[in-house]
A = this chain, B = another copy of it.
């Protein structure tokens, strides 16, 4: 039965209030902090402390099984929690950890789950991304980082790049070619790699969104055999396309994270327009800006509903996933709409949007920063790739 209301019972309404109250206590500063685009040390400390507090409540692992630090709560409760986090403007959890948790819950051993899920659930262990290579972005088939077995260890050699905030992380989820004779998507395995392993070095790569991505070099880095997650050589099937035919990054939270930021941004854009006058009248009374705002509202609301649809499908199917067509269409739309949103918001604000900080910066420079971060829309695969997958896997067009 069609129902878009997540909290239609007294219990769920109470849950919403509980979350809301917690946020007021745990994030009183209401500081805007996006972990992937912020390098301020004080911000990072505040951010990590916040998520440890959320973890302590058991809310990171809200829907996980109880035996693995979870609370086995419903996806609807998770949705309500997310909605409140958006509405409050709280920062989002680093997405890779959630992807690791999904992979380990699905393909890990009992021991791996016990060992790794706790740190993710409590937000005490941060995870970095180790898929992308300088010559293998969306094209995983070109992966060249190699893992060879040496006794009870795996030895990693190669280079990963664009590891967002990896320098803040303790572990990295690394995809490497474990079968040297394999080609394309076969023979790739997934490893849980402690970043303090000798032979791992990191160089910073700064991006135009004020974030730090990283180059990570593996030179005979030896990791214990039990760092392999899933079956040897099966990472393409199990991990990359593991969750209902989706790519890893979409699996749990990346898109929702970005959506949350956009919902928050829309609310702020509208408030800004209500409060800001130009030529004596609020921007909301400018007919051109009204059209621009209306168009932005349509896009953001469509994305919010698509996320709801994802939750609905996950709840209905029990598989925790969305269809290949829908999820890739959403991802493509999102990846194109994000920079469009940022551009239009900059147009609405006008020339003062250029100013990055200080008294004259508009909305504390957040429009401007949002614009810069929007060039990070390729992370997790370009819109071109998402459209191609939607067209071929979803619509059945020939490859």
Flag the segment in A28-36, A96-104, A283-291 that touches B: A283-291
Given the complex of chains A and B, what is the CA–CA distance between A288 and B286 in angstroms? 9
Which B residues touch A286, using CB under 8 A? 287
The smallest C-beta distance from A273 to any residue of chain B, in angstroms, reads 15
Given the complex of chains A and B, what is the CA–CA distance between A287 and B292 in angstroms? 12
Which B residues touch A291, using CB under 8 A? 288
Given the complex of chains A and B, what is the CA–CA distance between A278 and B287 in angstroms? 15
For A291, give the chain B residue with the smallest CB separation.
B288
Number of copies of this chain that the complex holds:
2
Given the complex of chains A and B, what is the CA–CA distance between A287 and B291 in angstroms? 11
Residues 274 to 318 of chain A near chain B (Cβ within 8 Å):
286-288, 291
Given the complex of chains A and B, what is the CA–CA distance between A288 and B292 in angstroms? 10
Given the complex of chains A and B, what is the CA–CA distance between A286 and B291 in angstroms? 12
The smallest C-beta distance from A205 to any residue of chain B, in angstroms, reads 27
For A290, give the chain B residue with the smallest CB separation.
B288
Given the complex of chains A and B, what is the CA–CA distance between A288 and B287 in angstroms? 6
Which B residues touch A287, using CB under 8 A? 286-288
Given the complex of chains A and B, what is the CA–CA distance between A291 and B291 in angstroms? 11
Residues 95 to 127 of chain A near chain B (Cβ within 8 Å):
none
Given the complex of chains A and B, what is the CA–CA distance between A212 and B392 in angstroms? 36
The smallest C-beta distance from A283 to any residue of chain B, in angstroms, reads 12
For A289, give the chain B residue with the smallest CB separation.
B287
Which B residues touch A288, using CB under 8 A? 287-288, 291
Given the complex of chains A and B, what is the CA–CA distance between A287 and B287 in angstroms? 6
Given the complex of chains A and B, what is the CA–CA distance between A253 and B144 in angstroms? 54
The smallest C-beta distance from A149 to any residue of chain B, in angstroms, reads 39
The smallest C-beta distance from A13 to any residue of chain B, in angstroms, reads 41
The smallest C-beta distance from A245 to any residue of chain B, in angstroms, reads 29
Given the complex of chains A and B, what is the CA–CA distance between A288 and B291 in angstroms? 8
The smallest C-beta distance from A365 to any residue of chain B, in angstroms, reads 27
For A287, give the chain B residue with the smallest CB separation.
B287
Given the complex of chains A and B, what is the CA–CA distance between A92 and B286 in angstroms? 42
Given the complex of chains A and B, what is the CA–CA distance between A327 and B287 in angstroms? 38
Given the complex of chains A and B, what is the CA–CA distance between A112 and B30 in angstroms? 83
Given the complex of chains A and B, what is the CA–CA distance between A291 and B344 in angstroms? 14
The smallest C-beta distance from A2 to any residue of chain B, in angstroms, reads 31
The smallest C-beta distance from A253 to any residue of chain B, in angstroms, reads 37
Given the complex of chains A and B, what is the CA–CA distance between A287 and B283 in angstroms? 13
Given the complex of chains A and B, what is the CA–CA distance between A47 and B291 in angstroms? 43
The contact sample of 5 A-B pairs, CB cut-off 8 A, is A286-B287, A287-B287, A287-B288, A288-B288, A288-B291
Q: Which are the 5 A-B pairs with shortest beta-carbon distances?
A: A287-B287, A287-B288, A288-B288, A288-B291, A286-B287
